[in-house]
């Protein structure tokens, strides 16, 4: 029996796994793009983004659709989303701005090349994924936050579709995958690139469409009844599907399908009260740091690389140094999560709740 209040701890652990995957990938991508960064296994970092979109759609639908004891409030939803993502988002952008300012003061003005005011504006207002020029020169992984934000804006429509299709959950899930496939084909035809290559240009379509797959997966989960063993097989099969689809460039729909199977399988195991490696307390704790890892890893990498250059130790990108860079990010993520992310989120949400309570009291007076 699934309740709206149930937490899927394995999915929290999965967030950590996905976050360090993309961070590790970006060391080679940033500093040895044609060497270590070109290894096929590292290119799977691209697939991680789409699995994350599916995961977000699944979890948000679990919270706001399965929780049927109160109506969906778009204002409350967006406030909660902004409280979750925006404080650290601005912190990461500020770190890069401070890094560039310091470089300018040290006479390294050439490092400012490409960091335009237009790009800064796009990043501040999460507009990178609609094609703003030079937006990618700032905190470039943040395009995914911009793309997911498009999914937030479309979320009321997603919930309406979920309600309309709840009696045909598996058909709805397949339709969401077909939607990704069709958009992918249209992007290739009219925009000159596939959905998997859509970041700064067309990324908003990618984020919203793949999030909808997560919505469809959560609706299908209502009927996704099976033993924990079989659910584990589904999760393993989904991982294989996502990996093969990414390596062989089969298209985002197949990556999203694999990601959905992973999430459905893990969620079903959690629903049975069974433990997985990803549901253990340590993994759940690390999963809580996943957003800090994701949004801060590029600024931290930039600072670390520059520090090594200053002391005369050029970075040699390989499996070990990439692991070291990623480990530093994880270490930094803990205090940032505890001292900035959680307090800011609670401050914003508590302030909003007090304001809403005051308005309610005024109407009842």
Tens of pLDDT, residue by residue over 86-107, are 999 999 999 999 988 888 887 7
Query: Does residue 362 lie in a domain region?
Result: no
What is the per-residue pLDDT for 155?
96
Q: What is the DSSP string of 9-62?
A: HHHHHHHHHHHHHHHHHHHHHHH-TTTGGG-HHHHTHHHHHHHHHHHHHHHHHH
Neighbouring CB atoms inside 10 A of 243's CB total 16
Tokens coding 324: 């070291």
Q: Residue 3: pLDDT above 50?
A: no
What residues make up the domain containing 176? 9-355
Contact 88, 291 (CB under 8 A): yes
| 13 in a structural domain | yes
39-43 contacts, C-beta under 8 A, 24 or more apart: 40/247, 43/246, 43/247
SS3 197: helix
196 contacts: CB under 8 Å, gap ≥ 6: 46, 50, 184, 246, 249, 251, 252, 255
Asked if residue 201 is part of any domain, the answer here is yes
Please state the rounded mean pLDDT for residues 314-318: 90
Assigned token pair, 314: 């050029």
* pLDDT (0 to 100) of residue 5: 59
Number of domains in the chain: 1
User: Is it the case that residue 68 has pLDDT exceeding 70?
Assistant: no
Q: Is residue 316 part of a domain?
A: yes
Q: Which residues pair with 130 in a beta bridge?
A: 201
pLDDT band at 4 (very low <50, low <70, confident <90, very high): very low
Closest CA to 237 of 205, 261, 267: 261
pLDDT > 90? residue 7: no
> Residue holding tokens 């959950």?
169
Cβ 9 vs Cβ 270: under 8 Å: yes
Residue 344 scores a pLDDT above 90: yes
Q: Where residue 190 falls among pLDDT bands split at 50, 70, 90?
A: confident
User: In the chain, which ranges are continuous DSSP H helix?
Assistant: 9-31, 40-43, 45-64, 74-105, 117-124, 143-164, 169-190, 203-221, 228-247, 252-271, 281-288, 290-310, 319-336, 342-364
Rounded to whole angstroms, the Cα distance separating 361 from 159 reads 30
Q: What is the pLDDT of residues 106-151, one digit of tens each?
A: 777 666 777 888 889 999 999 999 887 778 788 989 999 999 999 9
Mean pLDDT of the chain: 89
Give, as one character, the DSSP assignment of residue 196.
G
The answer to whether residue 1 scores a pLDDT higher than 50 is no
Listed range (95-104, 167-176, 179-188, 254-263) with the worst mean pLDDT? 95-104
Q: Is residue 364 part of a domain?
A: no
Domain contains 297: yes
Query: Does a structural domain hold residue 300?
Result: yes
286 within some domain: yes
Residue 8 has pLDDT above 60, yes or no: yes
- Give the pLDDT of residue 335: 96
């Amino acid at each position: 029996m699934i309740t709206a209040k149930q937490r899927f701890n394995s999915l929290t652990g999965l967030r950590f796994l996905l976050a360090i995957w993309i961070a590790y990938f970006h060391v080679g991508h940033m500093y040895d793009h044609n060497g270590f960064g070109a290894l096929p296994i590292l290119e799977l970092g691209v697939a991680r983004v789409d699995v994350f979109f599916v995961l977000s759609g699944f979890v948000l639908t679990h919270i706001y659709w399965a929780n049927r004891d109160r109506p969906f409030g778009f204002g409350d939803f967006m406030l909660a989303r902004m409280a979750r993502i925006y404080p650290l988002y601005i912190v990461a952008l500020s770190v890069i701005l401070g890094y560039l300012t310091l470089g300018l003061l040290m006479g390294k003005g050439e490092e400012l090349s490409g960091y335009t005011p237009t790009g800064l504006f796009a990043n501040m207002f999460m507009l990178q994924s609609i094609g703003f020029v030079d937006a990618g020169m700032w905190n470039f992984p943040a395009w995914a936050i911009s793309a997911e934000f498009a999914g937030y804006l479309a979320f009321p429509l997603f919930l309406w579709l979920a309600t309309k299709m709840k009696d045909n959950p598996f058909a709805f899930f397949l339709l969401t995958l077909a939607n990704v496939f069709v958009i992918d084909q249209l992007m290739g035809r009219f925009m000159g690139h596939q959905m998997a290559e859509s970041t700064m240009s067309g990324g908003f379509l990618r984020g919203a469409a793949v999030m909808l797959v997560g919505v469809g997966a959560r609706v299908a989960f209502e009927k996704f009844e099976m033993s924990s063993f079989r659910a584990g097989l589904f999760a393993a099969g989904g991982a294989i599907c996502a990996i093969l689809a990414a390596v062989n460039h089969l298209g985002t729909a197949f990556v999203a399908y694999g990601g959905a199977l992973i999430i459905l399988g893990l969620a079903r195991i959690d629903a049975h009260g069974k433990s997985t490696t990803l549901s253990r307390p340590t993994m759940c704790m690390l999963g809580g740091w996943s957003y800090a890892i994701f949004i801060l890893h590029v600024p931290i990498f930039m600072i670390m690389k520059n520090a090594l250059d200053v002391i005369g130790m050029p970075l040699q990108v390989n499996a070990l140094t990439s692991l070291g860079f990623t480990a530093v990010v994880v270490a930094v993520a803990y205090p940032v999560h505890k001292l900035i992310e959680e307090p800011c989120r609670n401050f914003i949400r508590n302030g909003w709740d007090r304001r809403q309570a005051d308005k309610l009291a005024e109407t009842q007076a």
